[in-house]
């Protein structure tokens, strides 16, 4: 299956190459604007690239990580504006710990010693929160420009758990069933560190319809 193949859900949805390009451009604009802010925060050179953009049923997200039992950090931002929207960032445990170590003078945190969120110190939590805040803000701005609406992300919540538990928590936070999500696979190169993750838009039904209209998807 390639990027333009049909995505199966309750209703089959086909994205044309032009529509995929529109979603990819959304991701490129968001990441492009975020790079400068992230570089200033970390005082390091950052290169960011998108490996793919997909429109998938919510239940297929674990396939991108190898299953529901993998330990991940989840960064969830509610976005308030003309439409309600959730932005979820998922990063494998080791990627986040390596990022924290690269920014810490001690560089001594062992991922095997991190079992719950409270195992992290305030510095580590603040870094994760700020990275999530920067990315969600710039991606929301790119989406708002595309849809010609106003979107303002709240300060994100950070969670650490197996992917299945985080997904259950996200579902509990939504006022309606989440059927489809837009996923943007991102790769950040922070000097000698690779940070891979998935950036997810979880829109309400009317928001999704408005986005479809913006990229000419009937």
Distance CA 149, CA 177 (A): 23
What's the pLDDT score for residue 8? 37
Domain boundaries, the chain: 17-214
Contact partners, residue 203, CB within 8 Å, separation at least 6:
83, 85, 86, 182, 211
* Residue 42 confidence (pLDDT) above 90: no
When the pLDDT of each residue in the chain is averaged and rounded to a whole number, the result is: 80
Q: Give the confidence band of 9 by pLDDT, cuts at 50, 70, 90.
A: very low
More confident residue, 82 or 51: 51
CA–CA gap between residue 187 and residue 84 (Å, rounded): 27
Q: What is the pLDDT of residue 75?
A: 94
May I ask the CATH architecture of the domain 17-214?
Answer: 3-Layer(aba) Sandwich (3.40)
Least confident of 2-16, 64-78, 171-185: 2-16
Quote the pTM value. Answer: 0.84
Please tell me the predicted confidence (pLDDT) of residue 78: 87
Give the mean model confidence (pLDDT) for residues 102-127. Answer: 84
Phi, psi of 74 (to 5 degrees): -115, 135
Task: Please give the average per-residue pLDDT across 29-34, as a whole number.
Answer: 81
**pLDDT above 50: residue 3:** no
For residues 190-207, average pLDDT: 80
- What distance in Å separates the CA atoms of residue 142 and residue 144, rounded to the nearest whole number? 5
Average pLDDT score over residue span 171-176: 69
């Amino acid at each position: 299956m390639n990027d333009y193949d049909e995505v199966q859900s309750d209703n089959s949805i086909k994205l044309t190459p032009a529509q995929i390009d529109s979603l990819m451009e959304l991701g490129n604009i968001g990441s492009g604007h975020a790079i400068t802010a992230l570089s200033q925060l970390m005082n390091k050179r950052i290169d960011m690239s998108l490996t793919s953009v997909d429109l998938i049923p919510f239940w297929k997200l674990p396939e991108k990580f190898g299953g529901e039992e993998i330990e991940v950090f989840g960064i969830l931002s509610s976005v308030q504006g003309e439409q309600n929207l959730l932005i979820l960032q998922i990063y494998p445990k080791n990627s986040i710990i390596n990022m924290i170590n690269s920014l810490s003078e001690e560089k001594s945190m062992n991922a095997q010693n991190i079992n719950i969120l409270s195992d992290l110190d305030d510095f580590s939590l603040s870094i994760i929160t700020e990275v999530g805040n920067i990315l969600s803000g710039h991606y929301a701005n790119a989406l708002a420009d595309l849809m010609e609406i106003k979107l303002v992300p709240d300060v994100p919540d950070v969670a650490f758990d197996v992917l299945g538990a985080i997904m259950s928590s996200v579902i509990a936070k939504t006022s309606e069933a989440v059927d489809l999500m837009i996923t943007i696979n991102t790769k950040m190169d922070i000097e000698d560190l690779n940070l891979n993750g998935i950036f997810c838009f979880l829109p309400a039904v009317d928001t999704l319809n408005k986005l479809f209209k913006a990229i000419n998807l009937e």
